[in-house]
Chain A
Amino acid sequence: MRSPVLVESLPVPVTDRALRAYLGAVPLVDDVAVHQRVASLATRSIKRESKRAALELAIRMTDLTTLEGQDTPGKVRQLASKAIRPDPSDPSIPHVGALCVYPAMVHHAAPVLAGTGVHLAAVATYFPSGQATGESRVADVREAITAGADEIDMVIDRGAFLAGDYMKVFEDIVATKEACGGAHLKVILETGELGTYDNVRKASMLAMAAGADFIKTSTGKVAPAATREVTLVMFEAIRDFHDLTGRMVGMKPAGGIRVAKDAIRYLVLLHETLGTGWMTPDYFRFGASSLLNDLLMQIRWLDTGRYQSADYFSKD
């Protein structure tokens, strides 16, 4: 198996010993201080003009998501239209970052999104549990890509991570990355199942070393999903990885982000931790569904001074 040479200290092929040494050097995290830092940044105050720009940016950063057992081709096509023109009454509103669906739904969305600039992301590798053999996981990815996905959201094998089998997690990611070809790989850590911020930071460093283009908090199927605290811990890992390798990795909090105010707080955290270089859809995405309508509603409010009824925004 081909390992990417991203981290100098990791030999090719990677050995268990080298991987453990690499992860052993990951700084520990103090929970209380993380919560304090996040709380202190929640009081940042954003004025009108900046807020308008931030809301638009948040739309461009949204991975509009539907991941339900009841997803149908019709539902997916409707959501794809929404992704392209979130607010039909206002052509100045940009399209979202991507549409995120199950692999089986990809071929329904692909024709709708073709040529629009909206990316098509598929959750693969036996989302959400990841409990499948390596072969099946990779096959899942290949199918999604063949059907037209250009971004893959994979899940790590949390069981293997918690059991200390870091090699297994590493090799899974490498194999997935390979199967992705040119497609963008987002690695879901499912932080709600990792238990500690120390584990989150370690898993982040592991995923990035294995070739993740993005690291992502959650599937949205496990509580807690994204929190600003866990996002800060992952930002710090991204910063470390950038210091170590010069490579910029993106971040995607997903699940539980429903209102614009919350989204802006994430952007403040991003701005103060990683800086302006990361404030683009290339390096930051929100995994969300209902967030989009609140962003639209807040923009309408900024533009008109009035809150519109929720009925004026399409529910897809």
Chain B
Amino acid sequence: MDESLSPATVSHGPLDWSYAESKESSSIVTIPAEQGLYIGGEFVPARSEATYPSVNPATEGHLGAVAEGGAEDADLAVRAARSAYETTWRDMPGKERGKYLYRIARLLQERSREFAVLETMDGGKPIKESRDFDLPTSAAHFFYYAGWADKLGYAFPGVDPRPLGVAGQVVPWNFPMLMLSWKVAPALATGNTVVLKPSTTTPLTALEFARLTREAGLPDGVFNVLTGHGDAGAALVAHPDVNKVAFTGSTEVGRIIQRAIAGTDKKATLELGGKAAHIIMDDAPIDQAVEGIVNGIFFNQGHVCCAGSRLLVQESIAEVVVERLKRRLDTLRVGDPLDKNTDLGAINSADQLDKIKELVGAGTAEGAEIYQPACRLPEKGWWFPPTLFTEVSQSHRIAQEEIFGPVLSIMTFRTPDEAIEKANNTPYGLSAGVWTSKGSRILWMADRLKAGVVWSNTYNQFDPTSPFGGYKESGFGREGGRHGLLPYMQGVGL
């Protein structure tokens, strides 16, 4: 601005405005000092009486002890689920089952704030995400499947769909409540009973959910929680009286599960890893694409199986996109997950942090160029700054392996064909994103991308009515929508 134009007497300079810390209170939740397994409507200690602490990844503080279940406990839980299946749940009219699910959904809405705080404390994700995404979407899943409970005959006309029996469900630590909802809601709606194994590091919301089902009056044994480590999950999956296995987690564990159930008549759905391509064409709405990229990789610290972790930018606009991306990264707020202004929270566990560090180290060693904004990380807890890699080659480990952290690998392409070739050049096939202003190109690309979900001009959008699941080593089976009922039903033609 011209000197002569500047206002005469406004003496104040620009306001250097940083947001003050604005913490969501944790006093809303009460975490019992010790929590048992939830079996047959009762909280019971593990047969071994062993417990382990659940840890807040942002502080490394303990959040009470939970039972360390084992094979014997898995057996008890499956028995309880079988008994509930045969005595109450299987033969209950769909309309009645639906009422319980509606009640659960409403209770989840009512207690949403409490669950959100608990989810954030136990898992490290920012409160704005647990509050605005995880919990509302969880409740939405229960509402949605509650509606199906008495309409299953219409979902599959000409078939008399029947439940399978006991479902053993193993969920991961990145979206503990949401993954619980994705699995429990359709299982219960279709008349199955459930034994849920939450992740070792994030058992608290599942246990609180168990109390919520009690509040909803859900018959004992219809929903059971088996906390513990991998061996508990393995015992559950291998249990001969489990009819259906549903797993979300790593491809490595997915393989173990496949082996364990080979030769049995167990039905399975596996939702595994991903290394999604996020494609930016030269005619993309650039500033919104940059927001989409940020949301795609830094949502939930990148602990997202469908995270847009491989950015493919058309070479002619790569410089501009990278520059804008760096500028945007500088404004991301990393820190206390309970602070309502936090964009990136804590890394879920020390193990996960090690894994991220190892892969980032490999990226640098392989010659990729790293960019991290200057941001001060808290001293306690597990943290990793938002990270970009440029000069990445398709052959680098950071372009092939799932990092599951806030790390974006940026590559370029020249033509749409090359974009498709690079995008599909991965053993995974869970999701992909395309940014372009050309409608015809979106359809052309969606046809050719080998991914279960293709987002166009947006990323990480979820809705209970929309099926979600992978291709290739990202697993099989669909969760959500009418498709999400199928894996829990049997009948002629199903």
Contact B12 A271 (CB under 8 A): no
Which residues of chain A come closer than 8 Å to B6, judged between CB atoms?
Answer: 282
Which residues of chain A come closer than 8 Å to B5, judged between CB atoms?
Answer: 182-184, 213
Contact B12 A60 (CB under 8 A): yes
B250 at the interface (CB under 8 A from A): no
Contact B7 A119 (CB under 8 A): yes
Given A53-B17, A267-B17, A276-B17; A46-B288 close (CB under 8 Å):
no
Contact B128 A50 (CB under 8 A): no
**A17–B327 Cα gap in the complex (Å)?**
32
Contact A280 B15 (CB under 8 A): yes
Which of A30, A43, A49, A119 contacts B132 (CB under 8 A)? A43
Interface residues of B in 34-91 (CB under 8 A from A): none
Which residues of chain B come closer than 8 Å to A36, judged between CB atoms?
Answer: 291, 458
Given A43-B128, A44-B19, A47-B20; A276-B14 close (CB under 8 Å):
yes
Interface residues of B in 406-438 (CB under 8 A from A): 435, 437
Interface residues of B in 7-24 (CB under 8 A from A): 7-10, 12-22
Contact A27 B286 (CB under 8 A): yes
Tell me the dominant secondary structure on chain B's binding face: loop
Contact B20 A34 (CB under 8 A): no
Which of A46, A117, A213 contacts B19 (CB under 8 A)? A46
Which of B1, B8, B21, B458 contacts A117 (CB under 8 A)? B8
**A57–B10 Cα gap in the complex (Å)?**
11
Contact B458 A46 (CB under 8 A): no
Which residues of chain A come closer than 8 Å to B15, judged between CB atoms?
Answer: 53-54, 57, 276, 279-280
Which of A45, A46, A278 contacts B14 (CB under 8 A)? A278
Which residues of chain A come closer than 8 Å to B292, judged between CB atoms?
Answer: 33
Q: How far is the CB of A241 from chain B (nearest CB, A)?
A: 13
**A179–B213 Cα gap in the complex (Å)?**
73
Contact A271 B287 (CB under 8 A): no
**A46–B19 Cα gap in the complex (Å)?**
6
Contact A37 B14 (CB under 8 A): no
Interface size class of A (residues with CB under 8 A): 35 or more
Residue on B with the closest CB to A272? Answer: B331
Which residues of chain B come closer than 8 Å to A280, judged between CB atoms?
Answer: 10, 12-15
Residue on A with the closest CB to B339? Answer: A45
Residue on A with the closest CB to B20? Answer: A47
Contact B340 A30 (CB under 8 A): no
Residue on B with the closest CB to A236? Answer: B287
A48 at the interface (CB under 8 A from B): yes
Contact A279 B21 (CB under 8 A): no
Given A29-B285, A30-B457, A60-B12; A213-B1 close (CB under 8 Å):
yes
Contact B437 A46 (CB under 8 A): no
**A213–B1 Cα gap in the complex (Å)?**
8
Contact A44 B341 (CB under 8 A): yes
B264 at the interface (CB under 8 A from A): no
What is the 8 Å Cβ interface bit string for chain A, positions 254-288, against chain B (1 contact, 0 not)?
A: 00000000000001000110001111111000000
Which of B14, B435, B457 contacts A279 (CB under 8 A)? B14
A28 at the interface (CB under 8 A from B): yes
Contact B19 A27 (CB under 8 A): no
Which of A28, A32, A48, A271 contacts B17 (CB under 8 A)? A271
Which of B1, B8, B283, B285 contacts A248 (CB under 8 A)? B1
Q: Which of A30, A213, A236 is most buried by chain B, counting CB atoms within 10 A of its CB?
A: A30
What is the 8 Å Cβ interface bit string for chain A, positions 40-65, against chain B (1 contact, 0 not)?
A: 00011111111001100100100000
Q: How far is the CB of A182 from chain B (nearest CB, A)?
A: 5
B379 at the interface (CB under 8 A from A): no
**A159–B292 Cα gap in the complex (Å)?**
34
**A47–B437 Cα gap in the complex (Å)?**
40
Contact A37 B288 (CB under 8 A): yes
Which residues of chain A come closer than 8 Å to B2, judged between CB atoms?
Answer: 182
**A184–B20 Cα gap in the complex (Å)?**
34
Which residues of chain B come closer than 8 Å to A278, judged between CB atoms?
Answer: 14
B440 at the interface (CB under 8 A from A): no
Q: How far is the CB of A204 from chain B (nearest CB, A)?
A: 13
Q: How far is the CB of A109 from chain B (nearest CB, A)?
A: 16
Contact A30 B285 (CB under 8 A): yes
**A33–B292 Cα gap in the complex (Å)?**
8
What is the 8 Å Cβ interface bit string for chain A, positions 167-184, against chain B (1 contact, 0 not)?
A: 000000000000000111
Given A30-B457, A50-B18, A54-B17; A282-B132 close (CB under 8 Å):
no
Contact A117 B287 (CB under 8 A): no
Which residues of chain A come closer than 8 Å to B458, judged between CB atoms?
Answer: 32-33, 36
Q: Which of B4, B5, B15, B340 is most buried by chain A, counting CB atoms within 10 A of its CB?
A: B15
Contact A277 B14 (CB under 8 A): yes
Contact A30 B288 (CB under 8 A): yes
Given A45-B340, A117-B8; A37-B291 close (CB under 8 Å):
yes
Interface residues of A in 177-222 (CB under 8 A from B): 182-184, 213
5 contacts between A and B (CB under 8 A): A27-B286, A29-B288, A32-B458, A44-B19, A280-B13
A residues lining the B interface (CB < 8 Å): 27-30, 32-34, 36-37, 43-50, 53-54, 57, 60, 94, 97, 116-117, 119, 182-184, 213, 236, 248, 267, 271-272, 276-282
Smallest CB-CB A-B distances: 7 pairs: A117-B9, A47-B20, A33-B288, A45-B22, A30-B285, A30-B288, A45-B340
For the complex with contacts A28-B283, A44-B19, A47-B22, 16 further pairs of A-B residues with Cβ separation under 8 Å are: A27-B285, A33-B458, A37-B288, A37-B291, A45-B19, A45-B340, A54-B17, A57-B17, A60-B12, A117-B8, A117-B10, A267-B17, A280-B10, A280-B12, A280-B15, A282-B1
